[in-house]
Amino acid sequence: MSQKFDIIVLGSGPGGYVAAIRASQLGKKVAVVEKAELGGICLNWGCIPTKALLKSAQVFEYIKHAADYGIQINNAKADFSAMIKRSRDVAAGMSKGVQFLMKKNNITVIYGFGKLKGNKQLEVTDDKNNTTTYTADHIILATGGRARELPNLKIDGKKVIGYRQAMSLTEQPESMIIVGSGAIGVEFAYFYNAIGTKVTIVEFMPNIVPVEDEDISKQLEKEYKKSGINILTSSTVESVDTSGKKCKVTIKTPSGAITEECDVVLSAVGISTNVEGIGLEECGVAVDKGRVVTDDFYRTNIPGIYAIGDITKGQALAHVASAEGIICVEKICGHHPEPLNYNNIPGCTYCQPEIASVGLTEKAAKEKGYAIKVGKFPFTASGKAKAAGASEGFVKVIFDAKYGEWLGCHMIGANVTEMIAEVVVARKLETTGHEIIKAVHPHPTMSEAIMEATAAAYGEVIHL
């Protein structure tokens, strides 16, 4: 007889483990099935270890520019292997933290590859090829995603790599071509460039970080070019020849085809969903373009089967997966959670300068027919930013001119990922621009720029 649970969660990333903990808090008998390390890609190969690498790069840059702060340091150099080790140690520590949380919340952890078998059953095959079947009233799929491959850019793990290899190379490459300039691409571009690798970014769209407001994209491109990063926009990689010592990369640019040599090519063109082999087709679970179809509470078309995180319709972000997991479980347990508002999800990119945004871009707001008020406040006018030696960037806000609705906010600068939550909460509470202007912000802080940008939108800015 198979072991019985109230809820089984397939996958232990930030969607899966959060869903499991919330289910345990609500009195359910819960199990998590994981084929690798607890914490999933985010904790082990994504969000957390990349931020450790980026911090190492930032500290190295501080040291290189110590004289700007009145400090003399000589002969500083980056120890690539030590940076990689620190990143892996941070990831390992976070994974152990999830192990602790599983134990604390009396959640059973089952290691192996899980597959739906119908009749509320999940078959798990461990690394010794032993198979065990488990039963649950509710099965939540939280299997996440992996690096996407292009037909002409196959990842071999040596010369053509994905994000996992990019954070565990044994030697620092002298040169690197990064294909794609989303969050993964520009974050690794910053890290490797900061420690001395020659970096080229190839982006298909006209702007880097193409999902961001165009003003943000242009500012980041300006800063990256200033730091020595080569940027090729409206360009595509046609082929990669890895037969020699170096990679020969043929790139189609607006002015014609060129060939560039590099040690390593990093593919950073997004993610593919992990939906293969988990029994969706056999159980009749509806899938559309690689994503599991769900309702607003993450119920699939098959009763008792749910899906959250990267394999569903929402943004492929850790905080989205966590929010979906909580909503899903609370609905299962008879609560009445609100559906998630995907128009109020913050996006953060942890390059330097950082990027943070939420809501509509200026272009999108105009396309939707809004009459808008736009305000911008540069960090060159911020006392805190100037004192910190981090005056690059700005805060840009967009309001509906008719009703005062806060349509969007876009920031680029030091630590702006720590500032965006104010905007998310304000939009959740339907706060107007005038209320932001009258809410006293502490001085001197970077966050004052939000108030000042809002004041600029309404013609009331003081410090410009």
Total Cβ atoms within 10 A of residue 375:
23
pLDDT in tens, 209-228: 999 999 999 999 999 999 99
Q: Out of 319, 335, 336, 443, which one is annotated catalytic?
A: 443
121-127 average pLDDT score: 96
Mean pLDDT, the chain, whole residue set: 96
3-state secondary structure of 253: strand
Question: What is d(CA 68, CA 168) in angstroms, rounded to the nearest whole number?
Answer: 32
Residues whose CB falls within 8 Å of the CB of residue 340, separated by 6 or more in sequence, listed in order = 296, 314, 320, 323, 324, 327
301-316 average pLDDT score: 96
State the amino acid at position 160 in one-letter form.
V
Contact predicate 211/297, CB 8 Å: no
If you search the block for the tokens 């090729």, which residue do you land on? 232
* Cα 343 versus chain centre, distance: 16
Read off φ and ψ for residue 165, nearest 5 degrees: -70, -30
| pLDDT for 1 beyond 70 | no
Segment (H or E) for 409: strand 406-413
Q: Respond yes or no: is residue 443 known to be catalytic.
A: yes
pLDDT in tens, 55-111: 999 999 999 999 999 999 988 999 999 999 999 999 999 999 999 999 999 999 999
pLDDT in tens, 406-446: 999 999 999 999 999 999 999 999 999 999 999 999 999 99
pLDDT in tens, 10-44: 999 999 999 999 999 999 999 999 999 999 888 88
Read off φ and ψ for residue 337, nearest 5 degrees: -70, 155
For residue 69, what is the DSSP state? G
Contact predicate 293/206, CB 8 Å: no
243-269 average pLDDT score: 96
Segment (H or E) for 19: helix 16-25
Burial class (CB in 10 A: 0-12, 13-18, 19+), 366: middle
- CA angle, residues 347, 219, 47, in degrees to nearest 5: 30
Total Cβ atoms within 10 A of residue 28:
19
Contact predicate 457/433, CB 8 Å: yes
Total Cβ atoms within 10 A of residue 386:
13
Residue-wise burial string across 299-328, b where 16 or more C-beta atoms lie within 10 A, e elsewhere:
bbeeebbbbbbbbbebebbbbbbbbbbbbb
